[in-house]
Amino acid sequence: MTQTILITGANRGIGLALTKQFLSNGETVIATCRVPDRAETLQTLTKETANLTILSLDVADENSIAALSSTLNDQPLDVLINNAGILSGTNPHASVLDKAPDQTLGSINSEGWVKVLRTNSIAPVMVTQALLPNLRRGQTRKIVMISSRWGAITHMDSTIPLAYGTSKAALNAATKIISSTLQNEQFVVVTLNPGAVRTDMGSQEADLAPEESARRLVKIINALTPEQTGQFLRHTGENIAW
């Protein structure tokens, strides 16, 4: 069975690696990003396969989400992967190695914090809500939120950027609520921790290459069952305490 997977933030990092992995498995991928014309790697991939479509989506803009929903119309989706996210609301080039003052107690930037929450916590819910009709037409009905170990309250300490950590904790909470809401419709709604990945955000000192993280995540996603809905899973498959 060929699946149709929609991935947000698919132009770089983990999102791009997931796109490549699903395509290599013969799946159909709808890759979304803010400016498709600048997504050079995705544009190259469209010349190599007919299974890839690139669509515009700014997850923090509800008009953009509505436009995506309108473009998709009645197209069935089997898997939605809410991957798009930011680390900092004030520094677009921030990495996990930075001790960001905008996320440190004593110098927190409230506007930046709100931007992180909107992108990382609220936007995945709004995208999910807009695409529910498409997912209901799909065969597997899987919704995946890409989160972080830093969103687990049991792991939180002073080393975690405050805005980012709280945004992922909020996303985790939303995942639990959505999973319960959709459980009777046989949806599988989970949060996945991709690990420490060598991306612009994760830094080049991280443990995993994007390709390896994506390979592990795709294996988990493909094997998900309704009994796993509401779980927080590590890239190696283990459950993570909330």
Rg (CA), the chain: 17
Handedness of CA 149, 154, 160, 161 (dihedral sign): positive
Of the residues 99, 164, 176, 219, which is catalytic?
A: 164
Handedness of CA 36, 42, 48, 50 (dihedral sign): negative
| N- to C-terminal Cα separation, the chain | 33
Q: Which tokens belong to 194?
A: 């991709």
CA 176 – CA 180 distance, rounded (Å): 6
Q: Is 47 a catalytic residue?
A: no
CA 221 – CA 172 distance, rounded (Å): 17
Q: Would you put residue 174 in left (φ > 0), alpha (ψ -120 to 50) or beta? A: alpha
CA 180 – CA 199 distance, rounded (Å): 33
Q: Is 164 a catalytic residue?
A: yes
Q: Which tokens belong to 83?
A: 């991957």
Of the residues 20, 115, 142, 168, which is catalytic?
A: 168
Asked whether the beta carbons of 214 and 27 are under 8 A apart, the reply is no
Residues labelled as active-site residues = 164, 168
